[in-house]
Amino acid sequence: MKYRSTSRFPVNVSVIGLGCWGLSGPSVWRDSNDSDSIKIVHKALESGVNFFDVAPVYGFGHAEEILGKAIKGFPRDKIVIATKCGLIWDDQKRITRCLKPSSIFREIDESLKRLKTDYIDLYQLHWPDPNTPIEETMDALIELKKIGKIRYIGLSNFSIDIAQKLLDHISSMQGLYNMFERNALSYHNIALEYRTEKEVLPFCEKNGLAFLPYSPLMQGILTGDINYNEKFTDVRSANPKLVGDNLSKYIQVVEKLKKIGTKIGKPVNEIAINWLVKHQAITSIIAGATKPEQLQENLKALDWEMSDELFEEIDRIVLESGILD
């Protein structure tokens, strides 16, 4: 395993982390089940993966609970838990954004309970909340840091303008980033207030912030296992990029990547992960998985390094394809 850290996030984290949305159960990810989820976390820990990205909203508490169950008995100080706050839900499971201090103080205690721990390593604001002044939110997080419930503060889905304002307090940024979505304008029909490659990566690099790319495999598209007529019935059905003609455009490029893969003897998932590893601004690639074998397949990417020539060839293919938004 390779580890990376940055000046504002001086914690050695595995360059391949585990995105734990997949631990939410089958109502969220079609192939997710608790027994496999626990095996995935154990396999990750055995393989040197020490970074786990989760959120309360993943399965409405379920993913945090499963992660807490799975890490029980492993040395806590060898595990880096990143969770989030700011997406809350009501009795009907309707989700809203809320970064009010009172809500954050409630959320942190619920997360600690579900994760069966007394501190969170990296506490991230999941999405901006236009109804709460960010200064009030930040005061709450600074208080949580002071009393030891969290170690570091991170932003997810925030613009660099806000990150610049909060720079003295934050350690990381998280955003949508993969070979096909570099400066995406939207995610699941939600407008993004940041351009990852143009703005966030250079900002993180310049300021010593960790950067955590989410959906590094474009929710499975960049594995080569999804075909033209795939009809997602899970959370991915809310992603308009994964339907009909939109999906076909991406799969056409995956077919080209497969050809390159055949030439070099590597599958598409490894190519997609190694393309990200090549970016020094990326700290941990939080790939999701719903089966232990997927995690294993993804970790194989670290058995080789992508040459500059291959990186450039891939860039040319993707840029020429016109799929970048």
Ligand X SMILES: NC(=O)c1ccc[n+]([C@@H]2O[C@H](COP(=O)([O-])OP(=O)(O)OC[C@H]3O[C@@H](n4cnc5c(N)ncnc54)[C@H](OP(=O)(O)O)[C@@H]3O)[C@@H](O)[C@H]2O)c1
Positions marked catalytic? 58
Stretch that binds ligand X, among 41-49, 68-76, 130-138, 292-300 (CB under 6 A): 292-300
Contact criterion met (CB below 8 Å) for 203 and 170 = no
- Of 105-113, 144-152, 160-168, 281-289, the segment contacting ligand X by CB under 6 A is 281-289
Q: Residue 200 has which token pair? A: 């966030």
Q: Which stretch binds ligand X (CB under 6 A): 4-12, 33-41, 215-223, 274-282?
A: 215-223
Query: Contact between 239 and ligand X (CB under 6 A)?
Result: no
By the rule CB under 6 A, 115 interacts with ligand X: no
**From 11, 13, 15, 20, residue interacting with ligand X (rule: CB under 6 A):** 20
Residue 56 to residue 53: CA distance in whole angstroms: 11
Query: Of 6 and 219, which has the nearer Cβ to ligand X?
Result: 219
CB 87 → ligand X: shortest distance, Å?
Answer: 9
**Residue type at 308?**
D
Instruction: Report how far residue 38's alpha carbon sits from residue 63's, in angstroms, rounded to the nearest whole number.
Output: 10
H or E, element range at 292: helix 292-299
Q: Which of 37, 137, 174, 196 binds ligand X (CB under 6 A)?
A: 174
The Cα–Cα gap between 9 and 65 comes to 26
Please give the C-alpha separations between residue 249 and each of 4, 223, 226, 241, in angstroms, as whole numbers.
34, 15, 12, 9
Residue pointed to by tokens 């932003």: 155
Contact indicator for 227, 252 with CB cutoff of 8 Å: no
Among 298, 301, 310, 318, binds ligand X (CB under 6 A): 298
Among the listed ranges 5-13, 14-22, 95-103, 252-260, the one in contact with ligand X (CB under 6 A) is 14-22
CB of 28 to ligand X, least distance (A): 10
Shortest distance, position 20 Cβ to ligand X, whole Å: 5
Torsion of CA 107, 109, 112, 117, to 10 degrees: 160
Question: Pick from 205, 225, 230, 313: which binds ligand X (CB under 6 A)?
Answer: 225
- Nearest Cα neighbor of 270 from 12, 4, 16 is 16
Determine, following the binding rule CB under 6 A, whether residue 24 of this chain makes contact with ligand X: no
Of residues 143 and 230, the one with the C-beta less far from ligand X? 230
When binding is defined by CB under 6 A, the residue of 112, 163, 286, 302 that contacts ligand X is 286
Name residues whose C-beta falls within 8 Å of residue 290's C-beta, 6 or more positions apart in sequence.
Answer: 22, 29, 30, 31, 32, 33, 36, 37, 40
Sign of CA dihedral 64, 66, 67, 69: positive
Please identify, using beta-carbon distances, which residue of 64 and 297 lies nearer to ligand X: 297
Cβ closer to ligand X: 143 or 261?
261
Question: Rule CB under 6 A: is residue 179 a binding residue for ligand X?
Answer: no
Q: Which is closer to ligand X, CB of 147 or CB of 185?
A: 185
Position 294 contacts ligand X (CB under 6 A) = yes
Using CB under 6 A as the binding criterion, the count of chain residues that bind ligand X stands at 29
Question: Is 180 near ligand X (CB under 6 A)?
Answer: no
